[in-house]
């Protein structure tokens, strides 16, 4: 017998009081999309509360695309007073966002690199590739082969991740980093 206070589905647990978070994140992604088309530099600011342990940040990120799909147009269009052409632009963006792929990267898995010329940047690159392999059900990649192939080139990294996850170039790839606070402790020995 269930209480009326207990959520009925996993979705109910995730979405409680998260509608505004979905709107904020989606609007930031839309601004990034719009300004990139114009060639303007834009760094999206996605708010998070690192001190709020157990607040559901990880669950939110892992379920973000499902939440966007379930919220539909209200995830971006909502009550904004925008013209019809802008609504059409936002609808187009939302349709593409609904087909996006999410790569979830847990920074607690970040490890020191060997040899030392492979710095923090390399460690994060390798962690991204490793997360893509594991998310695809493939065995963990060899660090030396990754280093030779990627050579710390961001374009090669994105191509490699898209290849591993089988994501076409016209589909969005969202990368979510969890536990960013790890840089407070691990950043010192990954120089």
pLDDT digits (tens, 9 = 90+) for 20-73: 888 888 888 888 888 888 877 766 666 665 556 667 778 888 888 888 888 888
Q: Angle at Cα 27 formed by Cα 158 and Cα 106, nearest 5°?
A: 45
Q: Mean pLDDT over all residues of the chain?
A: 78
Q: What is the pLDDT of residue 50?
A: 56
pTM of the model: 0.75
**28: nearest Cα among 43, 13, 14, 40:** 43
The answer to whether the CB of 91 falls within 8 A of the CB of 163 is no
**104: nearest Cα among 151, 150, 71, 57:** 57
Confidence of residue 160 (pLDDT cuts 50, 70, 90): very high
Q: What is the pLDDT of residue 164?
A: 94
The answer to whether residue 157 scores a pLDDT higher than 80 is yes
Q: Angle at Cα 99 formed by Cα 154 and Cα 179, nearest 5°?
A: 55
Phi-psi label, residue 109: left if phi above 0, alpha if psi -120 to 50, beta otherwise? alpha
The answer to whether residue 130 scores a pLDDT higher than 70 is yes
Q: What is the pLDDT of residue 185?
A: 61
Domain boundaries, the chain: 1-99, 102-191
Confidence of residue 3 (pLDDT cuts 50, 70, 90): very low
Task: State what percent of residues in the chain have pLDDT above 70.
Answer: 73
The answer to whether residue 106 scores a pLDDT higher than 90 is no
């Amino acid at each position: 017998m269930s209480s009326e206070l207990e959520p009925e589905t996993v979705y109910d647990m995730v979405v409680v009081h998260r509608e505004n978070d979905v709107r904020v994140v989606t609007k930031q992604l839309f601004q990034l999309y719009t300004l990139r088309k114009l060639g303007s530099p834009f760094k999206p600011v996605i708010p998070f509360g690192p001190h709020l342990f157990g607040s559901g940040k990880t669950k939110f990120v892992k379920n973000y695309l499902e939440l966007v799909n379930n919220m539909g147009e209200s995830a971006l269009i909502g009550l904004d007073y925008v013209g019809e052409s802008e609504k059409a632009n936002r609808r187009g963006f939302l349709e593409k966002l609904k087909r996006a792929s999410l790569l979830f990267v847990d920074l607690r898995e970040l490890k020191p690199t060997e040899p030392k010329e492979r710095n923090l940047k390399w460690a994060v690159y390798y962690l991204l590739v490793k997360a893509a392999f594991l998310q695809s059900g493939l065995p963990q990649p060899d660090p030396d082969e990754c280093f030779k192939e990627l050579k710390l080139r961001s374009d090669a990294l994105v191509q490699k991740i898209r290849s591993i996850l089988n994501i076409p170039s016209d589909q969005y790839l969202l990368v979510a980093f969890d536990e960013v606070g790890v840089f407070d402790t691990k950043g010192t020995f990954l120089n």
